Amino acid sequence: MKNKKIYKAHIIYTKEQSRFEVLENGYVAVGADGRVIGVAADLASLDSKDAEFIDFGNRLLIPAMNDMHVHAPQVHNQGVAMDLELLPWLQNYTFPEEAKYADIHYAERMYRRFIHTQWLFGTMRSCVFGTVHTESTRLLMKLYQEAGMGAMVGKVAMNRNCPENLSEDVEAAIEGNEQLIAEFNQTDALVRPIITPRFVPSCTPELLKACGELASKYQLPVQSHLSENTSEIAWVQDLEKESTCYGDAYNRYGLFGQTPTIMAHCVWTSGEELEMMKRNRVMVAHCPTSNFNLSSGMAPVRTFLDNGLRVGLGSDISGGHDLCMFRMLTYAIQVSKMHYQLDHNRRFLTLSEVFWIATKSAGSFFGKVGSFEPGYDFDALVIDDSVLHPDEYSLLHRLERYIYVGDDRQIVHRFCRGKEITEPKM
Amino acid sequence: MKNKKIYKAHIIYTKEQSRFEVLENGYVAVGADGRVIGVAADLASLDSKDAEFIDFGNRLLIPAMNDMHVHAPQVHNQGVAMDLELLPWLQNYTFPEEAKYADIHYAERMYRRFIHTQWLFGTMRSCVFGTVHTESTRLLMKLYQEAGMGAMVGKVAMNRNCPENLSEDVEAAIEGNEQLIAEFNQTDALVRPIITPRFVPSCTPELLKACGELASKYQLPVQSHLSENTSEIAWVQDLEKESTCYGDAYNRYGLFGQTPTIMAHCVWTSGEELEMMKRNRVMVAHCPTSNFNLSSGMAPVRTFLDNGLRVGLGSDISGGHDLCMFRMLTYAIQVSKMHYQLDHNRRFLTLSEVFWIATKSAGSFFGKVGSFEPGYDFDALVIDDSVLHPDEYSLLHRLERYIYVGDDRQIVHRFCRGKEITEPKM
């Protein structure tokens, strides 16, 4: 077996948010460690000695997608009961579904379905909420390992304002997390644990404190929800009276950038909270379909970018209904265009900006992921857009059309850290 | 050949906007004329003598989709150059593309592609803008006839504020329209002409007057654009100073409900214009993806419904990027949820409401279309949602999941006025 591979295709990626790098009939060299060695418009610029050569012809080669906020155990509720308001939806659909994950067999059937769908749509890395159940969460991590796809997977911490069968006391939460940490917390592993308090209203101060201590002790990343809707913000203010803002309620427990942190939604984030996120390098997981479906509002992504905040995109099923991150790109642009309609000073997001957000910006949460620059993990998709009449369009318009009009049928190869990812077992 | 057919399936449709009719293992009888004879939960309730019986098993049978506003000659621009502002986009993409339809061979290639895509997504009726070219428009109508799909097709009238090669003088516009009217204006035909002034800024008063006279003389329907964005409204006010509102600028020329009229967008319609639409029974073609993509705004559909306005949904490619009307349903709900977020008195649209809007409400523009009540044209889709795990869901959740998560792959039969529509030649 050769150590090095060189792929030829029309290569498109974003080094910077303001523009695409486009290499027509370009080449990318990938080492045995799955990292990019070099990318070039001509073969002569790369050291091709002893390399295996793979020609993708007229196809597009782009970085793979990253889903920065998703609830794997909600796969069964995808596209269901969207007419309900948030509270009856949580009580009648979300929580009862999560309770089923006490059954490892149910969990396996659904988690395989979930990972298969992510695979279909070319999502190679995710920040994932599991459930409170340690065994099901371990299984989810094992299934990601089996698939070869990258994920930060959280056993969800929650002990208040939720059904009793989903509430776990603080000691059990710590123990369950430590089991998973012992098993999975290896440097550079594709599948790793992430500390996951559901959100402030679901966690007592003791549980939030325990979460912060776990994150600090094991230097683990953190994920949760932040400022998704206005009544939630008021609720948090009421629960955590000493906090100066919702973000501060996490910050006080060491859950807001003390280790790498990603917060979903941030629809209503501004002022002090925004400043704190910037200072602490907390990443926003922008979930536009979910924000529409749950009547949350429209997150001010342009403002986040202008302030230098880190941003990625999330599907957030089943608040969101779609696991296709490409459609999330179009939704993110559309949300930004509604802000632009209200105030022309808030320029809407361009295609290169959302592409960069979804790939290199989001990918930075996992390490060097989301670009084809040397040293980056080779996470990639090969797009065969023959049905979209590629001969009639420029390469960038081909990419744009794929993003707006394409679907999983056009993704013909998927790579995660250099390894081709074949269809996971359902 | 038998005169009558009886189809068995899980039948779902909307007689009223507030709720679905659901017939588990139900039956619908269709006469030789393609109209529904009866629909029932049990076979005994229908006269099944001499009927051919077709069993669709565990599949869903629903009314077909209607696209109430779409520019067929923009199919090549679908999903392209969405980063541009409206004016450079019109000048560099929209108009140059339409000019190509002077070439009948180009028109044939693109119009076949367009109709094929509509067929894929189960759109059996449309209100379509062609171009200013009579021959290409005739061809488009012929291709719809060949496919067996229903359409009101407009030769576009425009003679100002557009490139010279798309401008046509008033006499030529009248003559071209009369040619098409002579050939296609048959009562009850599936493919019919519709009077189509592009929009007020594109048409001199003389041309608008000629359009109104054609509509009146031949009792033809009318389609155009209305109150899409705020600068357009100001422009119209400047061009038609005597008009009391944008809608009145059409009304004064007999183009606002004097014959059946449909107006795309109406994002900013309120007050007098809304009253006039109600009085004149002018239908709104709500185009949510286009309104997002072009930063137009969010049309107040709940307000339209509360005021008894007629409403349908439009894809509006290439302002919209998607010819799948099912995705338009989800977007329409999402727009309404953003209105709801701002004002909880404006209830968001439920699934049955958007389904009714897209089928029975929209379909009323074509006659008795969009329902399975007796006398309605049998326009229908058979949905095989096996990949969406139908055994785990209720029938209504199966439909909801298909709308939110499905695509063309699950549409396995398409009917227009009783006839099964097979794949059109590309």
pLDDT digits (tens, 9 = 90+) for A77-116: 999 999 988 888 899 999 999 999 999 999 999 999 999 9
- Give the residue, A3 or A204, on which the prediction is more confident: A204
Q: Which chain B residues contact residue A340 at CB under 8 A?
A: 295
- With CB atoms and an 8 Å threshold, state whether B79 touches A351: no
Residue A258 clears pLDDT 80, i.e. is over it: yes
What pLDDT sits at residue B266? 98
Q: Which chain A residues contact residue B317 at CB under 8 A?
A: none
Of B292, B389, B392, which is closest to A338 when you measure between CB atoms?
B292
pLDDT digits (tens, 9 = 90+) for A380-421: 999 999 999 999 999 999 999 999 999 999 999 999 999 999
pLDDT digits (tens, 9 = 90+) for B122-170: 999 999 999 999 999 999 999 999 999 999 999 999 999 999 999 999 9
pLDDT digits (tens, 9 = 90+) for B236-253: 999 999 999 999 999 999
Window 302-321 of A, Cβ < 8 Å to B: 321
A343 touches chain B (CB under 8 A): no
Residue B392 clears pLDDT 60, i.e. is over it: yes
Residues A46-61, mean pLDDT to the nearest whole number = 95
Task: Give the pLDDT band (50/70/90) at residue A3.
Answer: confident
**Chain B interface mutation, best of A78, A287, A334, A408, highest count of B Cβ atoms under 10 Å:** A334
- Domains delineated in chain B: 4-64+370-420 (2.30.40.10), 65-363 (3.20.20.140)
User: How much of chain A exceeds pLDDT 90, in percent?
Assistant: 96
Spatial contact of B348 and B365, defined as CB atoms under 8 Å apart:
no
3-state DSSP assignment of residue B311:
strand
Cβ neighbors of B316 (< 8 A, separation 6 or more) are B69, B70, B71, B264, B265, B285, B287, B289, B290
- With CB atoms and an 8 Å threshold, state whether B338 touches A338: yes
What pLDDT sits at residue B87? 84
Find where tokens 């009862």 sit: A96
**Chain A interface mutation, best of B118, B404, B407, B408, highest count of A Cβ atoms under 10 Å:** B404
Tokens of B422: 């097979």
Query: To the nearest whole angstrom, how far is the Cα of B324 from the nearest Cα of chain A?
Result: 10
- Give the residue, A72 or B87, on which the prediction is more confident: A72
Of B82, B338, B393, which is closest to A292 when you measure between CB atoms?
B338
Q: What is the ipTM of this complex?
A: 0.97
Alpha-carbon distance of A183 to A181, in angstroms, equals 5
What pLDDT sits at residue B1? 53
Task: Give the pLDDT band (50/70/90) at residue B2.
Answer: low
Of B330, B348, B389, which is closest to A295 when you measure between CB atoms?
B348
What pLDDT sits at residue B157? 98
